[in-house]
Amino acid sequence: MNILVLGSGGREHALAWAIAKSPLTDTLFVAPGNGGTAQIAKNVSNLNAESGEEVLAFARENDVELVVIGPEAPLVAGVADAVRAGGIAVFGPDAQGAQLEGSKTFSKEFMVRNGIPTAGYGSFDNAPDALAYARELGAPLVVKADGLAAGKGVIVADSLDAAEEAIRDCFTGAFGAAGSRVVVEECLTGPECSLLAFVSAGEALCMSTAQDHKRAFDGDEGPNTGGMGCYSPVPIVDPDELAEMQRIMQQAAEATAREFACDYRGVLYGGFMLTPEGPKVLEFNARFGDPETQVVLPRLESDLVEVMLAVAEGCPGDIGLSWSDRWACGVVLASSGYPGSYEKGKAVSGIEAAEALDGVTVFHAGTAERPDSGLVTSGGRVLCVTALGDTFESARAQAYKACGLIDFEGKQLRTDIGYRASIGRSAWGN
């Protein structure tokens, strides 16, 4: 069949990479795609991925039978609604389901209503009330822009001054319309962990655990980013915690079937904090994570297209998930200055040598192919270098070996992806 993937990042390259391996895939389109997807699919640069009408028209014109929506913005914009109404299978929830990510307030209310463990919070549409609540709660606390902010609208404030500054920033336009409402939360303690699930007809089929590194610099210093590296599975998660996280994901899936007008069909991403009282949900996302996808999918042995079709058609009973026993570690190579301002158009070399190493796959994010200069940087996060290994340490070592073979001017990376987990739970103090 012909398949269309919407998106341009490392997540979408990983999705396209896995979809391209399926014998069910005929022609694969990626809109708009990047330098990596161009090597395995047909990039479609002139399609507005946030317009359901345009996506549906393209799908009909090109005999597309499955549309896979990568980023959150098209989901919140209702692209899945329009394409599904046009009779084409879609992997991704409708606009109502996507509000689990599109609005922090909507998501927190959903959790509280359904008994899902999460941090205490307040939601505010004005600065004075938010500031008063923050002062009452006391530091440390977490300030979140309510809407979509490209993964950068969450501020962990260690002091009340920092929290007040974050609240004022939200209401003065630092995150655009996303900050017109603000959620202020108590600050939970413990390691973070992600558990994604394929959700359809009220059933959650959980994937393997993953752990992202949000901060820009070594030692979890610097500003939050879209993610600087990841690994899967997470060695510090004990069996009881994993069982509880899986129970919570199933509880959430059942709630979507009970509360939402249309069946939730796609990925539900659970961002957890492993607190001393047990796992609690920090956030839900309505799509695959980035860079979690780049370490989870290389460990998936099942046919991803078969899984996605079963989800899209509301047949979770047809899904069987099989996972490799190997470990995966992914390290993001970013442009100098990221997550702030950075230059584009830097020549990228060494990817072929990196992928010649055993178990290494390089997923493109901010790259583009230029007729005159070949592969160049075109974004903040440029590549995610993923390695599989028989042990956690061997996967980490191979990923960093591959990173050393890749070069572009201003290459920036964290050198400690997975280091804390290699020490054990004591590295988090609990």
Indicate the SS3 state at residue 303.
coil
In this structure, are residues 292 and 196 in contact, taking their beta carbons and an 8 Å threshold? yes
CA–CA separation, 284 vs 118, rounded Å? 11
CA–CA separation, 169 vs 100, rounded Å? 23
Residue 61 burial (C-beta neighbours within 10 Å; 0-12, 13-18, 19+): exposed
The pair of three-digit structure tokens given for residue 224, joined into one six-digit string: 């939050």
pLDDT of residue 298: 98
The alpha helices in 282-368, defined as continuous H runs, are: 292-296, 304-312, 351-355
pLDDT of residue 430: 59
Mean pLDDT of 403-427: 94
Least confident of 52-66, 219-233, 354-368: 219-233
Give the residue range(s) of CATH 3.90.600.10 domains in the chain: 327-428
| 179 DSSP assignment | G
| 356 CB-near residues (< 8 Å, 6+ apart) | none
Q: How many CA atoms lie within 13 A of 287 on its CB side?
A: 31
Task: Look at residues 24, 62, 23, 21 and name the one whose alpha carbon lies nearest to residue 42.
Answer: 62
Q: How many residues are there in the chain?
A: 430
User: Which 3-state string (H, E, C) describes 372-400?
Assistant: CCEEEECCCEEEEEEEEECCHHHHHHHHH
pLDDT of residue 178: 85
| 358 CB-near residues (< 8 Å, 6+ apart) | 398
CA separation (Å) from 187 to 156, 220, 309, 414? 8, 16, 39, 25
Q: Is the dihedral of CA 399, 266, 8, 193 positive or negative?
A: negative
pTM for the whole structure: 0.95
CA separation (Å) from 191 to 174, 329, 429? 28, 17, 9
Least confident of 138-152, 175-189, 315-329: 138-152
* Domain 126-180: which CATH number of 2.60.40.10, 1.10.20.10, 3.90.1640.10, 3.30.1490.20: 3.30.1490.20
The alpha helices in 313-391, defined as continuous H runs, are: 351-355
CA–CA separation, 256 vs 201, rounded Å? 9
Strand pairing partners for 274?
Answer: 279
CA–CA separation, 421 vs 220, rounded Å? 13
Domain 2-92 has what CATH class?
alpha beta
pLDDT of residue 372: 82
Q: What is the pLDDT of residues 289-326, one digit of tens each?
A: 999 999 999 999 999 999 999 999 999 999 999 999 99
Q: Taking the mean position of all CA atoms in its chain, how far away is CA 397?
A: 24
pLDDT of residue 173: 87
CA–CA separation, 193 vs 210, rounded Å? 6
The alpha helices in 146-265, defined as continuous H runs, are: 160-171, 239-259
Give the residue range(s) of CATH 3.30.1490.20 domains in the chain: 126-180
Model confidence at 174, pLDDT cuts 50, 70, 90, reads confident
Q: What is the pLDDT of residues 235-270, one digit of tens each?
A: 999 999 999 999 999 999 999 999 998 899 999 999
CA–CA separation, 323 vs 167, rounded Å? 42
Strand pairing partners for 272?
Answer: 193, 281
CA–CA separation, 170 vs 181, rounded Å? 8
CA–CA separation, 347 vs 356, rounded Å? 20
Give the residue range(s) of CATH 3.40.50.20 domains in the chain: 2-92
| 183 CB-near residues (< 8 Å, 6+ apart) | 104, 105, 108, 121, 122, 123, 124, 143, 144, 146
pLDDT of residue 329: 98
| Residue 151 predicted with pLDDT over 80 | no
Q: What is the pLDDT of residues 4-31, one digit of tens each?
A: 999 999 999 999 999 999 999 999 999 9
Indicate the SS3 state at residue 65.
strand
pLDDT of residue 426: 85
Domain 192-318 has what CATH class?
alpha beta
| Residue 415 predicted with pLDDT over 70 | yes
| Residue 44 CB neighbour total at 10 angstroms | 17
Domain 327-428 falls under CATH 3.90.600.10: yes
Please name the residue that has the structure tokens 């998106």: 7
CA separation (Å) from 417 to 84, 103, 291, 363? 39, 30, 12, 17
| Residue 344 CB neighbour total at 10 angstroms | 14
CA separation (Å) from 397 to 11, 58, 388, 390, 415? 22, 43, 10, 11, 11
CA–CA separation, 82 vs 253, rounded Å? 23
